[in-house]
Structure 1
């Protein structure tokens, strides 16, 4: 496949042989099936996805470690993708702010074709290697982590971004549904999930997309946990932007500390709504002022603050 966008004219058609483009014999008669039979075939195919995702946990862990190192050093994580893959990257990045109160600049999503491509296909955007490279050149710096998202593992826009990122001494990850992708050796971490042929041939919004969503969920969640934005299994950096989330803060304090709802509400008020400060105060027995100071001395890490107050 050509890797650069032609300046004019129509691109030649290229026969793709990636696993995601092969026909699935189990769904060959899909259009002849009853609705229930059709859904059963789709469901059976979907059941395969968590199993194959489990096969790339070591690679995903390596990507998490790269991202944690980058963010602790003041760098960023970038997602570059096209079509479904790119939209999943946008979704993952966007959801980190309300869930973990992560700084907006930590995770940056780049979608071939720009924001309009969230809602409709942008012609030839994914085939433009130079556009991916140019976008990476504009925003990626040494020490960043760039995650390429491409179901086939060969999307030119994504490969262009990864190549430019390498030139800038960023660390690179490729997440795809093609374990035999030719670019596997060109990145620091290759995550090739073997989802096999789709129920609808080539429709990578199905199993391939589900696999990418699972990996991205696990990847970004693990990064947030490693950066101290979770205590036990509770979201302690949640932003209380509505009544439901304000109530969740009280629930988190009650479950994390064993204190009453009234006591939790009172300390949270004393902490000016800062959940971490209230949590450290309730767990340690220290006053709000001491709890806030301990958090400041431990880079806002609850476990670190509690260790300081216990020493």
Structure 2
């Protein structure tokens, strides 16, 4: 049957209860039904390839959006409420993260920065001479403030050596499915257990290893055991105006119990070799306990004196 140069045909749809379906074929564009079918199959294959590309682009865009949102939050925390004073240390960490994620975010270094870099390269010899004359305190690179260990399951575990290392780990290194850990209620190192695509699976032994490290590298290292907070990196934030290395959690993932005596012996030996012995910390801790007890006693005597004075006034 022909209708205005278009031929129709009836076929059976085997995947839809064997129903008869009428197909309208374009005889003006295609010489036969097989030519039109081949053209349609080619279009479908092209659309499938396009959908995979779009899915990848959407995934990359979502990752870039998440990074840029976190960077925006970090930038806000680097400035005071009036936006006048800027913490240069935090600003440097933000810049470092933007540069390290260039492939994901497509971040472009501002023209002024590129000019400054070119100028610095041109005047490198004079700068080196000036540095020899005027040496400034060196805080070290972020990487030098981080310990790298391997968990029982083969995962990379990163430990902050100081406040600078802690901030670098929490705000620049940790991402995605990594696990962030810290001793609960006491100063200590920030721990990152890396959980990356294609890497080893994080096991219970890896989590316990991280919890033990969190207590070992904290002020609770002389306790038999202590609680450890764990969270996803996306919930670790920098409070506005907070000091270097200070963070807050929007949401906690789990609580673990860390046992510092279970860390590898080489870590204990390294601590003893650095002069940070258990005896020193134990005596220091006892001193603080005595001081706390003394203050509590003085406070109790003061309250009793005030109660007696109030009774006499009545």
TM-score, scaled relative to structure 1: 0.21
Normalized per residue, the structure richer in strand is 2
Q: Which has the larger radius of gyration?
A: 2
TM-score, scaled relative to structure 2: 0.21
Q: Which has the higher contact order (CA 8 A, sep 6+)?
A: 1
